[in-house]
Structure 1
Amino acid sequence: MKKFLSLLLAAAIVLSLAACGASTKQADLKKVMTDMKAKIENQEMMDLTSDDLMPNYGISPDDVKQFAAYVDSTGIKGDEIIFLEGKDAEAAKRIKEKLDARYKQKEVEMKDYLPEEFAVLKKCSVNQNGNYVSMIVSPQYEELNKIYNDAIKK
C-alpha cells in the first residue's frame, strides 16, 4: 500500500510540474516584431540577422534561442528595437549585460551629437523578463513596450 501511495504521489507531482510548465507563455519574437512594424512610424528601418549579433552587440548566437531586431538605417535616428530569448538563465544574463552596454554606448554617441534622439533614449530602457531580454529605443517606446510585454508575460 505504501508503494502504491508513493507512486501516486510521484505521479501527482510530475503532473503538477508539467501543468506549471504548460502555463509558461512562449512568445514568438518574430511575430511580435511583425506586429510592431505595423505601428512603427519610422519608415527607414531594417531587420538584422544573426550575423549582426556579434559585431553590433557582442552577443554570441550560441546564447540565443530566438531573436528579432529592427534598427534605423539612416544613422540619424536612434530607433533600435531588439528582442532576444536566451537559451537559459545564464545566457539571458550575458545578453542583458551586452544590451546594457549597447544602451550606454548609444547614450555617449547621442548626448552631444543628437540631443533630440538622446531625449528619446532617456525615456527608453533595457528590460529582462525571465530569459527574454529587450531594448526598445523609439519615440513610440510606451506603445511598443506594451505590445512586447503583452506577448511575453504570463
Structure 2
Amino acid sequence: MAKKLLCLCMTLLVMLGVTACSSSQKTADLPKVMEDMKAIMENKDMMDLDESDLMSYYGIEASQVKQFAVYIDSTGIKGDEIILIEGIDADAAKSIKEKIDARYQEKENTMKTYQPEEYAVLKKSKVEQNGNYISLIVSPQGDDLKEIYNKAFQ
C-alpha cells in the first residue's frame, strides 16, 4: 500500500512539473507585434503577405502554422523582410526554420553580388528560433524591431 501511495505521489509530482514547465512558455500575438513594428519602420514600400503566400515565397504549408505575420519590401530594391511565424508544434517549427534558413541563404546569394548595401544589412540579421516561434528580421532598423519582438514575450 505504501509503495502504491508513493508511486501515486511521484506521478502527481511529475505531472505538476510538466504542467508548470509547459505553462511557463511565453507567447506572443504576432500580428500585433508586426503592427507595433510597422509603426516605427522607415521603409514605406512594404507589403503584407497572406496565408496563400507562405507556400509560394517560403515553401511553408499553412497547416504547419499556428499564426504568422510577414512584411516584405514590395519594390524588390531593398532587402527588408520581416518574418514572424509560430509553428503548430516542435516538428512544424523545425521544418519552418529550415525553410526560413533557406530563404536567408537565397537572399544572401542574391544580395552579395547585386546589392552590397542591402547585403550588409542582411548580414546583421539571422534566423532565430524561440520554442515554436521562428523569426527573421532584415531591416536597417533591425535592432529596434528585434527589441519590439523580444518584448512581446515578456
Matches within 5 A, 1:45-56: 45-56=46-57
**TM-score, normalization: structure 2?**
0.90
Question: Could you say which residue in structure 1 is the equivalent of 2:145?
Answer: 144
* Matched letter for residue 81 of structure 2: E
CA deviations on 1:116-139 (whole Å, 9 max, x unpaired) are 111111111111112111111100
Query: SS at the partner of 1:71?
Result: strand
Offset of 1:93 from its aligned partner? 1.2
User: Which runs of 5 or more structure 1 residues have no equivalent in the other structure?
Assistant: none
- Secondary structure of 1:17's aligned partner: helix
What RMSD in Å do the two structures reach over aligned CA positions?
1.7
| Counterpart for residue 113 of structure 2 | 112
| Structure 1 stretch displaced more, 110-119 or 64-73 | 110-119
**Aligned-pair CA distance for 1:62:** 1.6
Code of the residue aligned with 2:12 in structure 1: it is A
Secondary structure of 2:52's counterpart equals helix
Task: Determine what percentage of the aligned residue pairs are the same residue.
Answer: 61
Work out the CA distance in 2 between the residues paired with 1:79 and 1:92: 23
Superposition deviation, residue 4 in structure 1: 4.5
Partner of 2:88: 87
Name stretches of at least 5 consecutive residues in structure 2 with no aligned partner: none
In 2, distance between residues paired with 1:124 and 1:12?
42
Q: Which moved more, 1:7-16 or 1:138-147?
A: 7-16
